[in-house]
């Protein structure tokens, strides 16, 4: 990257995402950092001699030594050309709340009248059982570590806990399921709505990267994150892809405090597999209900959302972020705190 002296390199706080149910990886938010000097070295430094020309006839003094960061790669060249670079290492804590409407596919069931289908029963796709409303509501707490590998490239990884539930509505055509004499043309059984709730209590793993650049008065960043959220007994496994672009101005509030409001767009595609057992109440004249074992794949109905947020850099070590994502059938709220040693 080429720039005139005094231009500030963009640095991005790597807070992911979440998992939505993570989850949310919620995506990182950009910030700008302070210049690295010999009096205020960044973490992970290497001393490099800086030659000084001696006065005529004087004994040459030992060379001065200036501190340069080991990371990012190319950081020394960037500093010598007048760039301001971020402290390379970071640790973040994040809270995410996510609501997402879903589409379903591959619904397979085993259904029995008056009893539960046995464990291990074959699950089949049947035309008389269909899904209706589907919605995921999850909250994610996550720890994330990041490193600026190059002045413009950040890599991050996180681990988190996702809790919540997935609501799925099921419609059963009882006349197609139970034949005469229980259901007959003279007295049809009709349809039964059998909603169920799949609990989410998962461990999430997130990996991603950020490309960022900016000046003294603006920034732009592009982030990509992939999250895998694993459930016990394969009940509610989740896979998420999060791509986001953000841009906005930098506003100095005095001293080292910088406020960075921003807007952007987010693509958050979530795939969830839920399975389990649900029972109805009495549905037939003899008082029997139905037992339903199910497995269904869900995915985000409309994955695009707009972004509005702000990052407050308190110093070269501490920053806070708040962000809201609003889509046609989704919304997500993110809070985070980052420390850079």
pLDDT in tens, 31-76: 333 333 333 333 333 333 333 344 455 454 454 566 777 888 887 8
- Determine contact, residues 69/48, Cβ cutoff 8 Å: no
Percent of the chain, pLDDT > 90? 36
pTM: predicted TM-score of the whole model, two decimal places: 0.73
Cα→Cα distances 190→171, 184, 185, 270, Å: 10, 10, 10, 34
> Looking at the domain assignment, is residue 37 inside a domain?
no
How many Å is the Cα radius of gyration of the chain?
A: 28
pLDDT tens track for 185-241: 767 777 888 888 888 888 999 999 999 988 778 999 999 999 998 877 655 678 899
> Looking at the domain assignment, is residue 56 inside a domain?
no
> Looking at the domain assignment, is residue 66 inside a domain?
no
> Looking at the domain assignment, is residue 27 inside a domain?
no
> Looking at the domain assignment, is residue 213 inside a domain?
yes
β-sheet bridge partners, residue 341: none
> Nearest-CA neighbor of 247 among 326, 305, 151, 311?
311
| Cα distance between residue 6 and residue 30, in whole Å | 19
Name the domain count of the chain: 1
Whichever domain contains 113, its CATH number is 2.40.128
> Looking at the domain assignment, is residue 155 inside a domain?
yes
> Looking at the domain assignment, is residue 61 inside a domain?
no
Among 46-55, 96-105, 263-272, whose mean pLDDT is lowest? Answer: 46-55
> Looking at the domain assignment, is residue 252 inside a domain?
yes
Helix (H) or strand (E) segment spanning residue 174 = helix 174-177
Check residues 80 and 298 and name the one with the higher pLDDT.
298
β-sheet bridge partners, residue 241: 226, 269
Q: Note down the domain range covering 167.
A: 75-339
- Determine contact, residues 311/323, Cβ cutoff 8 Å: no
């Amino acid at each position: 990257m080429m720039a005139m002296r005094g231009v500030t390199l963009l640095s991005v706080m790597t807070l992911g995402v979440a998992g939505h149910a993570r989850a949310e990886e919620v995506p990182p938010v950009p910030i700008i950092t302070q210049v690295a000097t010999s009096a205020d070295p960044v973490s992970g430094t290497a001393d490099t001699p800086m030659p000084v020309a001696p006065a005529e006839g004087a004994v040459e003094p030992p060379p001065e030594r200036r501190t340069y960061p080991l990371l990012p790669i190319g950081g020394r060249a960037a500093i010598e050309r007048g760039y301001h670079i971020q402290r390379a290492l970071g640790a973040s804590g994040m809270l995410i709340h996510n609501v997402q409407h879903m589409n379903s596919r591959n619904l397979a069931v085993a259904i029995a009248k008056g009893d539960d289908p046995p464990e291990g029963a074959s699950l089949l796709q049947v035309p008389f059982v269909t899904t209706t409303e589907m919605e995921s509501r999850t909250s994610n707490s996550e720890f994330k570590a990041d490193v600026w590998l190059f002045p413009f490239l950040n890599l991050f990884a996180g681990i988190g806990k996702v809790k919540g539930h997935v609501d799925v509505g099921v419609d059963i055509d009882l006349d197609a399921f139970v034949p005469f004499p229980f259901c007959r043309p003279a007295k049809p059984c009709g349809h039964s709505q059998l909603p169920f709730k799949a609990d989410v209590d998962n461990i999430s793993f997130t990996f991603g990267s950020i490309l960022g650049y900016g000046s003294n008065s603006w920034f732009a960043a592009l982030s990509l994150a992939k999250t895998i959220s694993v459930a016990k007994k394969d009940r509610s496994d989740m896979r998420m892809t999060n791509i986001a672009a953000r841009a906005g101005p930098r506003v100095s509030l005095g001293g080292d405090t910088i406020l960075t409001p921003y807007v952007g767009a987010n693509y958050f595609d979530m795939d969830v597999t839920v399975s389990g057992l649900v029972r109805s109440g009495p549905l037939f004249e003899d008082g029997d209900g139905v037992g339903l074992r199910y497995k269904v794949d869900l995915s985000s109905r409309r994955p695009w959302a707009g972004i509005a947020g702000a990052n407050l850099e308190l110093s070269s070590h501490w920053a806070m972020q708040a962000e809201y994502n609003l889509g046609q059938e989704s919304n997500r709220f993110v809070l985070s705190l980052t420390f850079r040693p």
